[in-house]
Structure 1
Amino acid sequence: MKDNFQICSRCIYDSRVPNISFDEEGVCNYCHQVTGLEETFKTGTPEGEAELQKIFAQIKEESKNKKYDCIVGVSGGTDSSYLLIKALEWGLRPLAVHYDNTWNSAIATENIRKVTSTLNVDLYTYVVDNKEADDIFRSFLLAGVPEFDASTDLGFVQTLRKAAAKYNVKYILEGHSFREEGVSPIGKNYFDGMYVKSIHDKYGKVKMKTYPLMTFFQFMKWTLFYRQKYIRPLWYINYTKADAKKVLKEKTGWEDYGGHHLENRSAAYVHTLYLPHKFKMDMRNLALAALARTGGMPREEALLKYNSPIEEPEGLEEYVKKRLNISDEEYVKIMNGPQRSFRDFKTYKKRFERLRPMFYLLAKVNIIPRSFYLKYCFPIK
């Protein structure tokens, strides 16, 4: 081990994490970023709860004559399913929205059905053409970049925003918790509409007709013209996945899918096979570092788990090769091929950086997520 190798004294991030730095007490800049978010959103305090209630009062006042007053994106996972329960407890009238990339696990699909039917919440699902989805996934493999599942994340956001416009809803609630999910290292995972398009233009074969690509123009339309607001309620309240799972199981019969990101096969493939094998990247440190920061798991235990072998879902690699029509020989070539990044393709990154002052103001009023401003609008070393 090199002499300059260092592990954060508070979480488990180490010197291998991109753009990391440590203070005189050995605490990393990402821990300080979390502390800053906790102070900004007054997470888990009466003040934070009161601020959230003010937002809900505004949502109800502005949407009292509408069928739905907010959109809640659902995946079948813990956070989004629990948020749907809380939205009803808070007196909101949500429309559940799901983007189906056609790689859902059976458990995730059933979880969405159980939660929405038990809670009597309307569900809007957009299903992309499976051949288009597979062609985009295949393109990202051939490109040799880490963001294999970027099209799903971007398609999900675009689907939420299109559904909000379709039903004249201004507020989008997202089930994300920086305390439980952690903060993604700057430069670790980047994607935007131009990135997806430029990779697909070079490597794709199937024309994108049903895939909900979010262009820069559309992004600005949703934010400036429609004035859609992104709210992350879990940033304000005391929230733990363990407690959320208990509530979900008791109230809806929701079933645990066995691990973080395993509710969808494409996400499971990225985290358990593709990134570890091709890029020697282990993304378990995000959630484990988060647990160590909050005391949800002893730091020593989190380090032990992080240094244990990754459990690979049985048959998943063969499933991906068969579905994407990739031979064993071609797959080995891809995995041993060049490691590229977003810097090797066209993106909106420089444009986001130039417009940073505008995005700062938009983040302050919840029109764009604060995480977007922090991750996308600053130069990456």
Structure 2
Amino acid sequence: MKICSRCIYDDRTPSISFDSEGVCNYCRQVEKLTETYKTGLPEGEKMLLDILSEVKAEGKGNKYDCVIGVSGGTDSSYLLIKALEWGLKPLAVHYDNTWNSSIASENIRKVTGKLNIDLYTYVVDNKEADDIFKSFLLAGVPEFDASTDIGFVQVLRAAAAKYGIKYILEGHSFIAEGVSPQGKNYFDGKYIADIHKKYGKRKLKTYPNMTFYQFMKWAVVYRQKFIRPLWYIDYSKPLARKILEDTTGWTYYGGHHLENRSTSFLHTIYNPVKFGIDNRNWSLSAEARTGVISRDEALKIYNTPIAQDPELIEYVKKRLELSDKDYEEVMNGPKRSFRDFETYKKRFEKLRPMFFALAKANLVPMSFYLKYCFPIKSDDNNS
């Protein structure tokens, strides 16, 4: 097995390639992004401050000048602190998929309360949420929690439109979180609709899916700009946790994406057991690149089996009304991928030049352009 000389991505990683120095294309992508956004440099901070000046000018006289999505996790919570330091007037927005851990819910309450930031929460009908989750299990695809990601973005953009806000700030850091491989964790609104149509039983009345038309409406008609401030500044996740703990009473939840039960089930049980997918390599590779831990230490952790929580398995069975037999059939059943269902993927690829222009203007995330708008090698498969 060939492993990147800088991170821990190996030759099983979709669309991976290695250069003459043994460095993978994803590490090189991080280098390019770092250069483009001048991450952690005075130039990067100036670029961000210029953007924030636009945010303030656009929102002058309004109660809010930006929307920030919050999950109770480290990055989004820390971004609220930074937003106030930068003199912004944020509205915190949360999409509640009804699977939140108590820690996540408390973190959102503590941070927004301590910082005196208004919170807008959209709660989906729990039966609808569960019907979609169960549909993805029955479909046999890895993206169990895709509906949460799509729903969150749709709620963010809808809340921004409701309050006349043009800027959406997201707490994502490619330095701290890494780059997800092309072909991994693919999802869009059409994918969710098709899987639910084939395997779901309930009519979706409250779930905020995002169609292609809505996606374009937010970007082209409403001209909502999607900004990721952590792409520009020197950001340390361990330091952010300490600041949050000291200033707001925020509590760490044990690992990346583990603040929500659906994402926790996805990352610690469903993907590792059914598909042999261990997404810890994203964050571990990021930590190895930045020297938070050594590459050898990252490999040691990655080669240690993920601890499964029996209580979480029972929780999923109970919520999704799965008998022990049903659950075993799901975990041992056929493995499929997004290629087996209807998606917008080909349309995204066809419109790549347009999306590049939109990404350059911050009207869609640059990560969307890099991950969704290029063809994926036919031999790269999630299953």
Fold shared per TM-score above 0.5:
yes
Instruction: Look up the match of 2:220.
Output: 224
Q: Where does 1:277-292 land on structure 2 (aligned, <5 Å)? A: 277-292=273-288
User: What letter is aligned with 1:173?
Assistant: L
Pairwise CA distance, 1:247: 0.4
Alignment match of 2:13 (pick from 8, 17, 27): 17
* 1:196-211 → structure 2 map (5 Å cutoff): 196-211=192-207
Determine which of 201, 224, 241 is the counterpart of 2:237: 241
Cα distance in structure 2, aligned partners of 1:335 and 1:295: 36
Tell me how far 1:149 sits from its aligned partner: 0.1
Alignment correspondent of 1:148: 144
Identity %: 71
Corresponding residue to 2:301 among 298, 305, 316: 305
Counterpart position of 1:262? 258
Distance in 2 between residues matched to 1:226 and 1:12, nearest whole Å: 41
Instruction: State the alpha-carbon separation in 2 of the partners of residues 182 and 32 from structure 1.
Output: 12
Shift of 1:117: 0.5
CA distance in 2, matches of 1:178, 1:238: 11
Equivalent residue for 1:324? 320
Q: Which amino acid in the other structure matches residue 364 of structure 1?
A: K
- How far 1:63 sits from its partner (Å)? 1.2
The answer to whether the aligner puts 1:130 opposite 2:126 as a matched pair is yes
Distance in 1 separating the partners of 2:368 and 2:331: 30
Q: Distance in 2 between matches of 1:324 and 1:105?
A: 17
For 1:97 and 1:110, how far apart are their aligned partners in 2? 15
Q: Deviation at 1:313?
A: 2.6
C-alpha offsets along residues 252-300 of structure 1, whole Å, 9 cap, x if unaligned?
0001111111100000000000000100110000000000011111110
Partner of 1:41: 37
Match runs of 1:365-380 below 5 Å: 365-380=361-376
Unaligned runs of 5+ in 2: 378-383
Within 5 Å, which residues of 2 pair with 1:323-342? 323-342=319-338
Which residue of 148, 155, 160 maps to 1:159?
A: 155
Q: How many matched pairs?
A: 377
Q: What is the aligned counterpart of 1:112 among 103, 108, 112?
A: 108
Aligned equivalents of 2:238, 2:245: Cα separation in 1: 11
The residue identity in structure 1 corresponding to 2:34 is: E
CA distance in 2, matches of 1:295, 1:11: 10
**More displaced, 25-34 or 61-70?**
61-70
| Distance in 2, Cα, partners of 1:47 & 1:277 | 44
**Alignment equivalent of 1:65, drawn from 50, 61, 65:** 61
Deviation string for 1:296-317 (max 9, x for gaps)? Answer: 1111000000001112234101
| Matched letter for residue 148 of structure 1 | F
**What is the aligned partner in structure 2 of residue 192 from structure 1?**
188
**Distance across 1 between alignment mates of 2:311 and 2:88:** 42
Query: Residue 175 of structure 1 corresponds to which residue in structure 2?
Result: 171
The AA in structure 2 aligned to 1:229 is K
What code does the residue aligned with 2:35 have? E
Q: Distance in 1 between matches of 2:16 and 2:349?
A: 20
Q: Partners in 1 of 2:309 and 2:117 — Cα distance?
A: 32
Distance 2:327 2:309 in 1: 18
2:3 alignment partner, SS class: coil
User: Aligned equivalents of 1:43 and 1:345: distance in 2?
Assistant: 38
Distance 1:60 1:284 in 2: 37
| Partners of 2:330 and 2:140 in 1: CA distance | 7
Distance 1:314 1:73 in 2: 31
Q: Can you give the 5+ residue segments of structure 1 that lack an aligned partner in the other structure?
A: none
Q: Deviations over 1:2-24 (max 9, x none)?
A: xxx20000000001101100000
Report the equivalent of 2:344. 348
- Partners of 1:118 and 1:334 lie apart in 2 by 43
Counterpart AA for 1:251: T
Using the TM superposition, give the Cα deviation of residue 334 of structure 1 relative to its aligned residue in structure 2, in angstroms. Answer: 1.1
After superposition, the C-alpha distances for 1:112-158 in whole angstroms (9 at most, x for unaligned) are 00000000000000000000000000000000000000000000000
Offset of 1:51 from its aligned partner? Answer: 0.4
Distance in 1, Cα, partners of 2:9 & 2:52? 35
TM-score after normalising by structure 1: 0.98
Q: 2:46 is matched with which residue: 39, 42, 50?
A: 50
1:186-238 Cα deviation digits (max 9, x unpaired): 00110000000000000000110000010000000000000000000000001
Deviation at 1:62, TM superposition (A): 1.4
Moved over 3 A (4+): none
Distance 1:306 1:203 in 2: 34
Cα distance in 2 for residues equivalent to 1:240 and 1:141: 35
Name the amino acid aligned to 2:42: P
The more displaced of 313-322 and 44-53 is 313-322
